[in-house]
């Protein structure tokens, strides 16, 4: 059974960089059938897609976040990571990592989420 687990700090100061890692177990991240992505959810609000990446390194980002986001993959560790720089309070959210089918476009496996609060 595929499992995804986010890890990273729960508190980040304004203007600093948010860094999260997603560890994939029970399956390989090196599959051309899937993208690996990040979705966030501010407290009490809806889902916002941040971006996705293929194991080969192709990246896709939400337009409004593109200038601040980097998603990278480490196939040797079966992990992928999110970096979001110049954070503000508006970036406070529950951050999910998830697997996305390339063909069908759906997110079928999700992590449990990592709450990140931006505050001084």
Partner 1 sequence: DIQMTQSPSSLSASVGDRVTITCQASRDISNYLNWYQQKPGKAPKLLIYDASNLVTGVPSRFSGSGSGTDFTFTISSLQPEDIATYYCQQYDTLVTFGGGTKVE
Site for partner 1 in 15-34 (CB under 8 A): none
- Is 10 an interacting residue with respect to partner 1 (CB under 8 A)? no
Phi and psi angles of residue 7, each rounded to the nearest 5 degrees, phi first: -145, 150
* 65 SS3 class: helix
User: Which of 29, 34, 52, 82 lies at the binding interface for partner 1 (CB under 8 A)?
Assistant: 52
Number of residues that bind partner 1 (CB under 8 A): 24
* Smallest distance from partner 1 to CB 47, Å: 4
x/- mask, partner 1, residues 79-118, rule CB under 8 A, reads: -----------------x-x-x---xxxxx-xxxx-----
Give residue 53's Cα distance to chain centre. Answer: 9
| DSSP string of 90-105, one letter each residue | GG-EEEEEEEEETTT-
């Amino acid at each position: 059974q595929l499992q995804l687990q986010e890890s990273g700090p729960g508190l980040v100061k304004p203007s600093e960089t948010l860094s999260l890692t997603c560890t994939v177990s029970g399956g390989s991240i090196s599959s051309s059938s899937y993208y690996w992505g990040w979705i966030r959810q501010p407290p009490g609000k809806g889902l916002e897609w941040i971006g996705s990446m293929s194991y080969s390194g192709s990246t896709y980002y939400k337009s409004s976040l593109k200038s601040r986001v980097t998603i990278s993959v480490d196939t040797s560790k079966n992990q992928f990571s999110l970096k979001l720089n110049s954070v503000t309070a508006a970036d406070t959210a529950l951050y999910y990592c998830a697997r996305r089918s390339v063909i069908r476009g759906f997110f079928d496996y999700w992590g449990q989420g990592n709450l990140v609060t931006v505050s001084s």
